[in-house]
């Protein structure tokens, strides 16, 4: 009886998609609930209390973005948006309105399961206090108390902005962070339109902590949306 | 003997008029010789019958004159409420044309065709209302008496002594589909009159003493019968023509009538019309703008325009000629048009004038050759009546008189100096010279005065006894006489030459103006510019303000936006313009239709129909356009219309071509895409069905191989679909390029991460300078360019050979190269591979769309993409992205909180 008994609610109108997701999820021992419409989905969130919601944006009865808004009025359940929409604007809107992550159709099962794990971990109560003093991913080590970053044994010197940028991403490791979100956290709300700040500093940061900055291992770019720290 | 063969023009004309008629309503006229014969009664009877047959009949207006029998016939018929107008202190019931058009019945009853409407009405005359109804496809039953016919007007006056003011053109009677003569013998009619069935008794008594005399009635009856017979004859002819009876084509006869501002002309016009109708030929009304009439008074011009309009309304073609000798011009024109008969008026001026200056009539008669000449008398009473209403305003021009006085004084002075040494004959010559010079500068009267003064001065100063007007030698009187006549003839000739030159200059100016307009219009391709040009030219030539109205998409006429020279069109004027548009006829100021409008409106007629309406507001509001001016304006307006039609047609043709092209592109694109989609689908379907059906018999490596194939092919499908979608979206403008200042390394990284698995097979060489500036581009689109080019390179380069990515900053641009060691690009296909539907000959699967989207994206960024073959084998794809605008400001960390 581990965390894998978590319950995933699929709000998706396409039967084939639900079938594939059910097989993929059940193979990982997740409990699966299905809803075909937004209304059904919302009522199942209220009555069945799922641990993660997989939400398709193109539902027959209600726009996915509105579902997120309604849901966020009374529930903090992690929501992963799955959408065939190419429009980056929709993904950013979904994230800004409270979705935790997104996946663009078509996607592989491995990718999906990884995202669900991240979402569950961030939602679990023991991570809420953020009390961990040291973060480790591969050979990257961050000591939050001493504000020090190591690559293997080599100590890396970061400017205050670079350090703040890194910690914001690391604390949300695995989750996509929009440009605006990052800027608000690092530079403050006055600078939200200056997205090039993130790009320039991210470039600098990559050169310092990545072995090959053009093929980054940790600091991944989500084109048009933002960045994600990959553990 | 002239050949009688069918005229192709006439055949065409008949076909056209036939077609027009089909769409128009039918008109039946109940024709009578006098009031009271029972026209209205017969008409209502016929209407009742039609109603019983189920026809939608409406009574537009009927005058029952209180006759009981007639009133009973109105029972059961729907009657349109008349428009009541307050006119000269009493209420007048008028036919409501708008209500009739709105009601749109199939048959309408409109009594008294010749009725003159009140000035507030749309048309001056009721027959014009009827004409509009017919055009709207409504059939009409109407009544009229013979005395109202335009061409019979003066005959009726001669017979009855009553001037009939309410007239209507013969051509309108001719277009009636049916004429029913309501005949009653004069005795019966008088009996009815006595019985009070026509008028109330006291009126009847008065009428019997005047109009309803038996002699009158007999004559009128004869006229009516004859007119009807003519009409029947014409119908018979039409029928025979329709039935293919060829024999009766009339010989090509043409009648020409010479008219002028003289009121006699009306008589000539009517006579010509009667003759033309009798002979069933066409006729032409000609006015010669002879130099002596070159400066006719405004009044004369107006009368002349009226005459021309009358002739036109009676079915004539009107022509204005210019020439020094009227007779010559007329004969030349007559020959040119194959005129067989010329009608001229009998001269009224004194005989000596003809003897002195030649008589145009004589000249015409002498020069006519085989053309027959008809000379018709004028009517003295009318002439005097009209001419008294025509004062000749003496035009006094101080400068001209000064010239006249000055010339005579100077001549006298010179003659004074010469007198002691020269003969008197030479002195006279000096005066003649002075007169010639004066007449080149002044008008008629100053020139004449100069002549008289010269003779007087010659007598006073140089003929003994000197300084008196007395003459010693009686022979000098002869000298004076000769001198005066010579001087007068010279003056006249000089003036005529001058005026003729002026007239031809005026013509030339008009022609040049029209030519200038058409030349400028021919160059234009835009509607707005055409309007501007038309407004400019027309307003200049006609000294008016112009507005051009065209039909908008929502079906309303709207004044087009043009620059200077236009005027605002209010709701009332817009109604006039609308009428013009719908009826394809000019209306407004100076015409018979809606003359109350402040401007004149002309339809812009092109070959496909009315394309708009031009409004003309004269700057001098007193000025009314005469017929010639209106014709000239029509030429301008139609030029504009044709130019506009040309633009519309060109636009349509272009659209059509684009549509066809787009369709072609779409078809090729679809077939190409469906091919690209089908091949991976076939692989997926095959592999999946093998797995499903043979699951038990397959070993694990085989199963894995099939699964991997499915996975890879779906990847490929996804890529193709993304490319197709982006390409169509980009081309349709559904997605715009969202340029932001980006780090190029970052986006290269994203692409490399995505294809990292496949990169294991080929080493990657990256050459990116360490301090690359931010570059403005759309991340997602650039990502697609890079991944397409990488896909392409991976697909073609053999396993183990390197793929190179080289980034080179240039001056305000950056160049990116992606090079492989594959087979390279076949010669001459370097460009073709970027087009949408081509795949390289050596199986570059799906690359067609991939590379064309690359080109579309790069070009949308203002850059350039091309392909080359590398030295040592392989292909290299290069593209340049310009760095435009100022890079965003970066604040250093120290400035931050």
Q: Which member of B722, B725, B745 has the closest CB to residue A214?
A: B745
Give the gyration radius of chain B's Cα atoms. 45
Q: Compute the nearest-CA separation of B758 from chain A (Å).
A: 14
10 Å CB burial of residue B218 (0-12, 13-18, 19+) is: middle
Closest C-alpha to B152, from B267, B36, B29, B229: B267
3-state secondary structure chain A: CCHHHCEEEEECCCHHHHHHHHHHHHHCCCEEEEECCHHHHHHHHHHHCCCEEEEECECCCCEHHHHHHHHHCCCCCCEEEEECCCCHHHHHHHHHCCCCEEEECCCCHHHHHHHHHHHHHHHCHHHCCCCCCEEEECCEEEECCCCEEEECCEEECCCHHHHHHHHHHHHCCCCEEEHHHHHHHHCCHHHCCCHHHHHHHHHHHHHHHCCCCCCCCCEEEECCCEEEECC
Q: Do the Cβ atoms of B766 and A194 come within 8 Å?
A: no
Measured CA to CA, the distance from residue B849 to residue B668 in angstroms comes to: 12
Does the residue B1 lie in any domain? Answer: no
Q: Do the Cβ atoms of A199 and B746 come within 8 Å?
A: yes
Residues in A whose CB is inside 8 Å of some CB of B read: 86, 88, 106, 159-161, 187-188, 194-197, 199-200, 202-203, 213-216, 220-221, 223-224
Give the mutation candidate from B681, B714, B715, B745 for the A interface (greatest A CB count, under 10 A). Answer: B745
Instruction: Judge contact between B179 and B225, C-beta under 8 A.
Output: no
CATH of A3-127, one of 1.20.1440.130, 3.40.1280.10, 3.40.640.10, 3.40.50.2300: 3.40.50.2300
What tokens appear for B648 in the block? 């519309």
Q: Which residues contact B892 (CB under 8 A, 6 or more apart)?
A: none
Instruction: Judge contact between B784 and B726, C-beta under 8 A.
Output: yes
Beta strands in B517-556 (DSSP E): 544-551
Q: What is the DSSP string of B273-340?
A: HHHHHHHT-EEEEEEEE-GGGSS--HHHHHHHHHHHHHHHHTT-EEEEEE-S-HHHHHHHHHHHTT--
**Do both B360 and B383 map to the same domain?**
yes
**Domain A134-229 of CATH type 1.10.10.10:** yes
Q: Do the Cβ atoms of B888 and A161 come within 8 Å?
A: no
Q: Quick one: closest CA in B to A104, which residue?
A: B718
Instruction: Judge contact between B225 and B231, C-beta under 8 A.
Output: no
Chain A residues close to B714, C-beta within 8 Å: 106
Residue ranges of chain A assigned to CATH 3.40.50.2300: 3-127
Q: Do the Cβ atoms of B774 and A224 come within 8 Å?
A: no
- E strand or H helix at B869, and its extent? strand B864-869
What tokens appear for B308 in the block? 């021309």
CATH number of the domain where residue B742 is located = 3.30.565.10
Q: CA B162 → CA B148, B307, B388, B486, distances in Å?
A: 11, 21, 21, 50
Q: CA B104 → CA B79, B101, B142, B251, distances in Å?
A: 13, 5, 17, 43
**Do both B439 and B408 map to the same domain?**
yes
pLDDT reported for residue B569: 78
Closest C-alpha to B768, from B729, B817, B803, B723: B817
**Do both B529 and B674 map to the same domain?**
yes
Q: Give the side-chain half-sphere CA count within 13 A for A85.
A: 20
Chain B residues close to A224, C-beta within 8 Å: 779-780
Where residue B452 falls (left for φ over 0; alpha for ψ -120 to 50; beta otherwise) is: alpha
Closest C-alpha to A120, from A218, A38, A221, A28: A28
What tokens appear for B479 in the block? 């000298």
pLDDT reported for residue B894: 62
**Do both B64 and B200 map to the same domain?**
yes
Does the residue B410 lie in any domain? Answer: yes
**Do both B603 and B718 map to the same domain?**
yes
- Sites in chain B below the pLDDT cut of 50: 1-4, 245-251, 293, 379-394, 839-847
pLDDT reported for residue B609: 79
Does the residue B326 lie in any domain? Answer: yes
Q: Compute how many other C-beta atoms are within 10 angstroms of the C-beta atom of residue B312.
A: 17
Q: Do the Cβ atoms of A215 and B714 come within 8 Å?
A: no
Question: Complex ipTM above 0.85?
Answer: no
Instruction: Judge contact between A83 and A91, C-beta under 8 A.
Output: yes
Q: Compute the nearest-CA separation of B659 from chain A (Å).
A: 29
- Sites in chain A below the pLDDT cut of 70: 1-4, 85-87, 125-131
10 Å CB burial of residue A24 (0-12, 13-18, 19+) is: middle
Measured CA to CA, the distance from residue B164 to residue B170 in angstroms comes to: 15
Chain B residues close to A202, C-beta within 8 Å: 743, 746
Residues, chain A = 231
**Do both B746 and B674 map to the same domain?**
no
Q: Do the Cβ atoms of A221 and B725 come within 8 Å?
A: no
Phi, psi of B629 (to 5 degrees): -60, -40
Q: Compute the nearest-CA separation of A15 from chain B (Å).
A: 19
Q: Do the Cβ atoms of B743 and A202 come within 8 Å?
A: yes
Q: Which member of A199, A220, A223 has the closest CB to residue B774?
A: A199
Closest C-alpha to B319, from B272, B273, B286, B283: B286
Chain B residues close to A187, C-beta within 8 Å: 896
Note the pLDDT tens digit of each residue in B782-806.
988 998 899 888 888 888 888 999 9
What tokens appear for A177 in the block? 């962070």
Measured CA to CA, the distance from residue B164 to residue B154 in angstroms comes to: 9
Instruction: Choose one of B703, B733, B763: the last residue of a domain.
Output: B733
Does the residue B518 lie in any domain? Answer: no
**Do both B544 and B627 map to the same domain?**
yes
Q: Do the Cβ atoms of B745 and A213 come within 8 Å?
A: yes
Closest C-alpha to B765, from B802, B791, B807, B795: B802
Does the residue B893 lie in any domain? Answer: no
Instruction: Judge contact between B95 and B60, C-beta under 8 A.
Output: yes
Closest C-alpha to B360, from B393, B314, B328: B328
Residue ranges of chain A assigned to CATH 1.10.10.10: 134-229
Instruction: Judge contact between B347 and B365, C-beta under 8 A.
Output: no
Q: Which member of A160, A188, A216 has the closest CB to residue B749?
A: A216
pLDDT reported for residue B836: 65
Q: Do the Cβ atoms of A161 and B896 come within 8 Å?
A: yes
Q: Counting one residue from A and one from B, how many pairs have CB atoms under 8 Å apart?
A: 61
Instruction: Judge contact between B148 and B36, C-beta under 8 A.
Output: no
**Do both B535 and B577 map to the same domain?**
yes
**Do both B648 and B549 map to the same domain?**
yes
Q: Compute how many other C-beta atoms are within 10 angstroms of the C-beta atom of residue B589.
A: 22
Does the residue B79 lie in any domain? Answer: yes
Write the DSSP symbol of residue B468: S
**Do both B370 and B406 map to the same domain?**
no
Does the residue B889 lie in any domain? Answer: no
Q: Do the Cβ atoms of B745 and A106 come within 8 Å?
A: no
Q: Do the Cβ atoms of B780 and A88 come within 8 Å?
A: yes
Instruction: Choose one of B361, B388, B415: the last residue of a domain.
Output: B388
Q: Parallel, antiparallel, or unpaired for β B78-79 and B57-61?
A: parallel
Chain A residues close to B888, C-beta within 8 Å: 194, 196
What tokens appear for A82 in the block? 């799955």
Domain count within chain B: 5
Q: Do the Cβ atoms of B741 and A159 come within 8 Å?
A: no
For residue B546, the cross-strand partners are: B616
Q: Which domain holds residue B617?
A: 524-733
Write the DSSP symbol of residue B129: H
| % of chain B exceeding 90 in pLDDT | 6
Q: Compute how many other C-beta atoms are within 10 angstroms of the C-beta atom of residue B695.
A: 9
Does the residue B482 lie in any domain? Answer: yes
Three-state DSSP class for B256? strand
Give the gyration radius of chain A's Cα atoms. 18
**Do both B611 and B757 map to the same domain?**
no
Measured CA to CA, the distance from residue B546 to residue B537 in angstroms comes to: 10
Q: CA B652 → CA B74, B648, B676, B760, B773, distances in Å?
A: 53, 6, 36, 57, 49
3-state secondary structure B51-118: HHCCCCEEEEECCCCCCHHHHHCCCCCEECCCEEEEECCEEEEECCHHHHHHHCCCEEEECCCCCECC
**Do both B774 and B861 map to the same domain?**
yes
Instruction: Choose one of B184, B211, B242: the last residue of a domain.
Output: B242
């Amino acid at each position: 009886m581990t965390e894998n008994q978590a319950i995933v609610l699929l709000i998706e109108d396409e039967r084939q998609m639900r079938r594939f997701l059910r097989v993929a999820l059940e193979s990982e021992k997740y409990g699966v609930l299905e809803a075909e419409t937004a209304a059904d989905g919302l009522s199942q969130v209220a009555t069945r209390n799922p641990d993660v919601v997989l939400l398709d944006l193109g539902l027959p009865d209600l726009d996915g973005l509105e579902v997120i808004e309604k849901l966020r009025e009374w529930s903090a359940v992690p929501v992963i948006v799955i959408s065939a929409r190419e429009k980056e604007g929709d993904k950013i809107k979904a994230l800004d309105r409270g979705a935790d992550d997104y996946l663009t159709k078509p996607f592989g099962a491995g990718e999906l399961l990884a995202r669900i794990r991240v979402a569950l971990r961030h939602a679990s109560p023991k991570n809420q206090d953020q009390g961990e003093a040291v973060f480790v991913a591969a050979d990257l080590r961050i000591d939050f108390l001493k504000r020090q970053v190591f690559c293997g044994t080599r100590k890396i010197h970061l400017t205050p902005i670079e350090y703040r940028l890194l910690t914001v991403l690391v604390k949300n490791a695995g989750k996509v962070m929009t440009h605006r979100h990052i800027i608000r956290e690092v530079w403050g709300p006055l600078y939200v339109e200056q997205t090039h700040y993130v790009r320039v500093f991210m470039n600098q940061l990559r050169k310092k902590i990545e072995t090959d900055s053009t093929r980054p291992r940790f600091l991944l770019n989500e084109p048009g949306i933002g960045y994600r720290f990959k553990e | 003997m002239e050949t009688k063969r069918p005229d192709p023009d006439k055949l065409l004309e008949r076909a056209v008029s036939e077609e027009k008629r089909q769409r128009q309503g039918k008109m039946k006229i109940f024709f009578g010789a006098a009031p009271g014969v029972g026209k209205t009664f017969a008409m209502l009877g016929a209407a009742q019958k039609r109603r019983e047959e189920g026809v939608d009949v409406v009574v537009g207006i009927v005058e029952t004159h209180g006759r009981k029998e007639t009133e009973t016939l109105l029972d059961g018929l729907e009657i349109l409420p008349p428009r009541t107008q307050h006119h000269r202190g009493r209420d007048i019931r008028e036919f409501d044309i708008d209500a009739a058009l709105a009601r749109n019945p199939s048959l309408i009853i409109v009594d008294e065709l010749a009725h003159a409407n009140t000035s507030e009405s749309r048309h001056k005359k009721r027959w014009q209302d009827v004409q509009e109804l017919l055009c709207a496809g409504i059939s009409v039953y109407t009544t009229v008496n013979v005395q109202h016919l335009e061409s019979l007007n003066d005959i009726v006056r001669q017979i009855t002594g009553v001037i009939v003011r309410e007239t209507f053109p013969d051509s309108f009677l001719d277009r009636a589909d049916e004429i029913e003569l309501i005949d009653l013998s004069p005795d019966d009619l008088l009996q009815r009159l006595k019985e009070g069935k026509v008028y109330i008794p006291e009126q009847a008594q008065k009428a019997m003493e005047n109009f309803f005399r038996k002699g009158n009635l007999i004559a009128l009856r004869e006229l009516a019968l004859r007119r009807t017979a003519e009409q029947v004859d014409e119908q018979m002819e039409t029928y025979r023509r329709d039935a293919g009876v060829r024999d009766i084509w009339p010989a090509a006869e043409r009648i020409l009538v010479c008219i002028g501002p003289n009121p006699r002309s009306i008589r000539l016009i009517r006579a010509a019309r009667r003759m033309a109708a009798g002979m069933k030929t066409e006729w032409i009304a000609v006015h010669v703008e002879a130099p002596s009439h070159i400066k006719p008074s405004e009044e004369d011009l107006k009368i002349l325009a009226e005459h021309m309009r009358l002739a036109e309304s009676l079915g004539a073609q009107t022509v204005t000629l210019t020439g020094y000798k009227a007779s010559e011009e007329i004969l030349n024109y007559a020959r040119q048009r194959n005129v067989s008969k010329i009608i001229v008026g009998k001269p009224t001026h004194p005989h000596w004038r003809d003897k002195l200056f030649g008589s145009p009539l004589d000249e015409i008669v002498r020069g006519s050759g085989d053309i027959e000449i008809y000379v018709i008398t004028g009517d003295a009473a009318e002439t005097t009546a009209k001419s008294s209403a025509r004062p000749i305003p003496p035009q006094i021009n101080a400068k001209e008189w000064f010239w006249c006085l000055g010339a005579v004084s100077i001549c006298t002075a010179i003659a004074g100096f010469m007198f002691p040494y020269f003969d008197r004959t030479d002195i006279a010559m000096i005066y003649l010279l002075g007169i010639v010079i004066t007449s080149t500068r002044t008008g008629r009267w100053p020139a004449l005065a100069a002549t008289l003064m010269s003779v007087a001065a010659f007598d006073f100063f140089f003929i003994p006894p000197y300084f008196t007007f007395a003459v010693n030698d009686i022979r000098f009187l002869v000298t004076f006489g000769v001198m005066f006549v010579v001087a007068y003839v010279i003056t006249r000739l000089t003036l005529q030459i001058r005026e003729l030159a002026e007239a031809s200059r005026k013509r030339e100016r008009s022609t040049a103006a029209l030519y200038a307009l058409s030349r400028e219009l021919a160059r234009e391709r835009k509607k707005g510019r055409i309007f501007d040009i038309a407004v400019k030219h027309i307003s200049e030539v006609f000294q008016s303000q112009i507005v051009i109205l065209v039909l908008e998409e929502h079906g309303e006429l709207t004044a087009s936006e043009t620059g200077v020279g236009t005027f605002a069109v209010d709701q009332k004027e817009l109604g006039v313009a609308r009428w013009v548009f719908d009826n394809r006829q000019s209306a407004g100021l100076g015409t018979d239709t809606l003359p109350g409008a402040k401007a004149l409106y002309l339809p812009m007629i092109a070959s496909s129909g009315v394309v708009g309406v031009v409004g003309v507001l004269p700057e001098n509001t007193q000025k009314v356009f005469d017929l010639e001016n209106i014709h000239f304006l029509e030429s301008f307006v139609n030029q504009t219309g044709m130019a506009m039609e040309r633009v519309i047609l060109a636009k349509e043709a272009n659209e059509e071509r684009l549509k066809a092209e787009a369709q072609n592109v779409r078809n090729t694109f679809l077939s190409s895409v469906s091919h690209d989609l089908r091949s991976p689908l076939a692989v997926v379907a095959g592999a999946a069905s093998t797995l499903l059906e043979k699951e038990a018999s397959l070993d694990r490596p085989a199963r894995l191989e099939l699964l991997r194939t499915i996975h890879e092919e779906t990847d490929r499908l996804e890529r193709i679909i993304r490319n197709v979608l982006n390409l169509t979206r980009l081309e349709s403008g559904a997605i715009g390029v969202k340029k932001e200042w980006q780090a190029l390394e970052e986006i290269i990284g994203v692409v490399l991460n995505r294809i990292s698995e496949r990169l294991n097979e080929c080493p990657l060489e990256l050459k990116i300078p360490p301090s690359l500036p931010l570059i403005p581009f759309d991340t997602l689109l650039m990502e697609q360019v890079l991944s397409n080019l990488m896909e392409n390179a991976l697909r073609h380069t053999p396993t183990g050979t390197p793929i190179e990515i080289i980034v080179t900053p240039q001056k305000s641009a950056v160049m990116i190269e992606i090079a492989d060691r594959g087979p390279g690009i076949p010669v001459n296909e370097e460009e073709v591979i970027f087009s949408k539907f081509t795949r390289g000959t050596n199986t570059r699967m799906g690359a067609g769309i991939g590379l064309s989207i690359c080109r579309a994206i790069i070009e949308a960024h203002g850059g350039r993409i091309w392909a080359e073959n590398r030295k040592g084998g392989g292909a290299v794809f290069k593209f340049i992205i310009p760095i435009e605008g100022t890079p965003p400001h970066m604040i250093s960390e120290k400035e931050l909180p």
